[in-house]
Structure 1
Amino acid sequence: MNLLTSLPRPRILVTGAAGFIGFHLSQRLLDLGLAVDGVDNMSPYYEPSLKEARLKLLQARPGFVFHRLELAEREATAKLFEQGRYDIALHLAAQAGVRYSVEQPMAYLDSNLAGMLTVLEGCRRHGVKHLVYASSSSIYGAARQMPLREDMVTDAPISLYAASKKANELMAHSYSHLYGIPASALRFFTVYGPWGRPDMAIFKFVRAIFEGRPIDVYNHGQMRRDFTFVDDVVDAVLAVAGVPPVAQDGQAAHRVLNVGHNGPVPLMDFIACLEQATGREAVKHFMPMQQGDVPDTWADTSALERGFGVRADTDLQVGVQRFVDWYRTYYEVPPAPPAASPP
């Protein structure tokens, strides 16, 4: 049974709806004719105008209802769940950023820990049929065995952000075990695409390239990332959301799934894709590894493919071009001047 298609009018909550993935997910749900309650605190972590523009597009669509609140506020979140009586909760709200967690650790307390707990309490008290929540590839720490599999030990996070995501998985597992809440953790791998976050590499690199500034290339370019296009991520969330896990053999109704492209890309190759899409050469400023970063990520996505028939297959150059095209339009970047003719 698929909850998204079998229930006559499924009630769906998307937290972080004005965020990058939450915006795309809400758009797709609305495209399917489903109603969405969206929650966001409109944090100024990155340029508020971008979140406001996403939210404006969502609010213009029938079936979308917006609630501005801090999930860490217990009474407000409890009231939201009591009134909403949600069938599915898609919990994407969080304080993001590995490097930011080194600089501002207290910012992760309310959003990532207290916010997760209030959502779990809401699910427990009001019969949510499936909780799907965002975890992260950073949970694997500095693991050297590749590709990264869901059954690997993940008890050595190297950033507070990663530790908070590990805590989320443990919290959800305990609530699933204690109260029978079906829950699915999705470990996202370097999601990119139009309307992306300005703190992500692709956004920072493209902005710097168009402004003629150097880009900071960490670990002297010796890094690989499993870049995953946002449309593929939304496909995975929707496929998983409709099919809650079932408790069996004494195990909790909780599962963990990698969501990635299953193909690491060297950072310098990624930059070459950006140069091709922008038509400009990047000025590279090579730097050492930053605190909390890892040299490689590579998702083993066989569990997602086997269980749900979903595979991230957007070609990197195609996805990068779509981001660059969006960036040019949104920020009204003028075309590059024509190359000078040879004498």
Structure 2
Amino acid sequence: MRKVFITGTAGFIGFHLAQLLLGEGFRVHGFDGMTDYYDVTLKQKNHQVLRQHPNFTATQGMLEDNELLSTIAADFKPDVIVHLAGQAGVRYSLENPRSYLDSNIVGTFNLMEVARQLEVGHILMASTSSVYGSNEEMPFVETEKADTPLTFYAATKKANEAMAHSYAHLWNLPTTMFRFFTVYGPNGRPDLAPFKFVDAILDGRPIDIYNHGDMYRDFTYVTDLVRGIRLLIDTPPVRPDNREVPEGDSLSPVAPYRIVNIGNSEKVRLLDFVEAIEEELGQKAIRNYMPMQLGDVPATWANAELLRTLTGYKPQTDIKVGIREFVAWFREYYAK
């Protein structure tokens, strides 16, 4: 039985990935800090669901607690590590940047040290489309430069990519960084736009629409995302011979290291997304149009050809289908 150590299993993406792996016969150990960045009750319920599976175990702890993290991981002896925990949120990084330094830099370093010491077969770590920053040429491709992050959140994720590359090179540690685009779906985080929109519309409260609605996002349904991660687990990068890298591959010429976009590869106008939610709810939103927020970008759009080349898989859930599933979960969970 293959063993996967996942950080952030009580969170949105980690919960769905753990469910998928457990369903396929993996043994999973989760490590989660249960921080109060958003509703801890939702996280606790996610772990309650996972604990019903006999092959799931979990530890509550912070990545910054190196002694606890190292002890738990050494006892579990994972074949693979998937790192999804960390301080999330673009806007919150304007208010509390130090939390990103502690979690996303120190915590990630601790986990990389664990992976090095245990000589795991593959470590996969979450990055973000936010690292593309001020880049304007779209769709975003993994091989283009991403040196102009616009928020400290994005900067910490870009730093994670650089840190991981050095470890891959020095210790021959197979490492895959995946760049997420706008993820949504059941069990979604309360700080994300789909959750905020549905909650406010049902309560008759206004929703904030930034840049007066002139924004585009590559909305990626969560089950599509975790399917991509699952397939990448079985696709560890290999240090290339003679520094020769296939065209279009983000594989490092000097390390078993690769960056992969996971997105729906479809640029959706924010107002179209709002209208799809309104249609599903059968209720119109009270719209509060606002200027662009500091650190935000007008558009994100993934080129996910590398993911398809590596795994044969392409995320493709239509937003109307994804919104229907999210709204159904939301209504049931909150009895609205």
**2:315 alignment partner, one of 312, 316, 340:** 312
Cα distance in 2 between the residues matched to 1:66 and 1:177: 31
**TM-score under structure 2 normalisation?**
0.96
- Structure 1 length normalisation: TM-score? 0.94
Q: Aligned pairs, how many? A: 325
Please give the alpha-carbon distance, in whole angstroms, between the structure 2 residues aligned to 1:25 and 1:114. 24
SS in 2 for 1:98: coil
For 1:341, the equivalent position in structure 2 comes to: none
Structure 2 unaligned segments of length 5 or more: list them. Answer: 244-253
Q: Determine whether 1:138 maps to 2:141.
A: no
Query: What corresponds to 2:282 in structure 1?
Result: 279
Matched, 1:81 2:73: yes
Measured in 1, the distance between the counterparts of 2:25 and 2:171 equals 31
For structure 1, which segment, 243-252 or 199-208, has the greater mean C-alpha deviation from structure 2 after superposition? Answer: 243-252
Match of 1:337 in 2: none
- Specify the alignment match of 1:268 in structure 2: 271
Tell me, yes or no, if the aligned pair for 1:85 and 1:127 is still in contact at 8 Å. Answer: no
- In 1, Cα distance between equivalents of 2:159 and 2:50: 31
1:237 lines up with 2:240 in the alignment: no
CA distance in 2 between counterparts of 1:31 and 1:85 reads 20
1:296 pairs with 291, 295, 299, which one? 299
Which residue of the other structure, out of 185, 209, 212, is the alignment partner of 1:217? 209
| Secondary structure in structure 2 of the residue aligned to 1:107 | helix
1:117-149, CA deviations, whole angstroms, 9 ceiling, x for partnerless residues?
011000101111000110100000021111100
**1:84 Cα deviation (Å)?**
1.7
How far apart, in 2, do the equivalents of 1:82 and 1:50 lie? 29
SS at match of 1:57: helix
Cα displacement string for residues 39-92 of structure 1 (whole angstroms, at most 9, x for unaligned residues): 100010001111111111011111000111111111111112221211100100
Q: Sequence identity, in percent?
A: 46
1:90 matched to 2:90: no
**Partner of residue 258 from structure 2, selected from 248, 255, 265:** 255
Q: Distance in 2 between matches of 1:235 and 1:74?
A: 30
What is the letter of the counterpart of residue 140 of structure 1? Y
Instruction: Find the partner of 1:14 among 6, 12, 15.
Output: 6
On the 8 A contact 1:142/1:295 being kept in 2, the answer is no
CA contact (8 A) 1:132 1:241 kept: yes
| In 2, Cα distance between equivalents of 1:177 and 1:160 | 26
Work out the CA distance in 2 between the residues paired with 1:277 and 1:133: 34
Show the counterpart of 2:248.
none
2-side partners of 1:307 and 1:63: how far apart?
29
Which range is displaced more, 71-80 or 213-222?
71-80
What SS is found at the alignment partner of 1:270?
A: helix
Question: 1:179-194 to 2 correspondence within 5 Å?
Answer: 179-194=171-186
Alignment correspondent of 1:4: none
Cα deviations by residue, 1:11-48 (Å, 9 ceiling, x for unpaired): 21010000000000000111112110001000100011
Say which one has the larger Rg.
Answer: 1
**Corresponding residue of 2:198:** 206
In the alignment, structure 1 segments of 5+ residues that lack a partner are 1-8, 334-343
Q: Please tell me the residue identity of whatever aligns with 1:23.
A: F
The root-mean-square deviation of aligned C-alpha atoms, in Å, is: 0.7
> For 2:281 and 2:300, how far apart are their aligned partners in 1?
25
1:325 maps onto 2:332 in alignment: no
Match of 2:52 in 1: 60
Aligned to 1:175: 167
- Structure 1 stretches (4+) deviating beyond 2 angstroms? none
Equivalent position amino acid for 1:185 in 2 = M
SS of the residue corresponding to residue 325 of structure 2 reads: helix
Q: How far off is 1:185 after superposition?
A: 0.4
Q: Report the Cα distance in structure 2 between the residues aligned to 1:257 and 1:191, rounded to whole angstroms.
A: 15
Contact (CA 8 Å) 2:140, 2:302: kept in 1 or not? Answer: yes
| Aligned counterparts of 2:196 and 2:27: Cα–Cα separation in 1 | 34
Letter in 2 for 1:259: I
8 Å CA contact 2:235, 2:310 repeated in 1? no
Partners of 2:235 and 2:274 in 1: CA distance? 38
SS in 1 for 2:265: coil
Given the alignment, which residue of 27, 40, 49 partners 1:48? 40
Further displaced range: 314-323 or 240-249: 240-249
Structure-2 separation of matches of 1:85 and 1:60: 22
SS at match of 1:106: helix
Q: Distance in 1 between matches of 2:328 and 2:182?
A: 19
Question: Who is 1:5 aligned against?
Answer: none
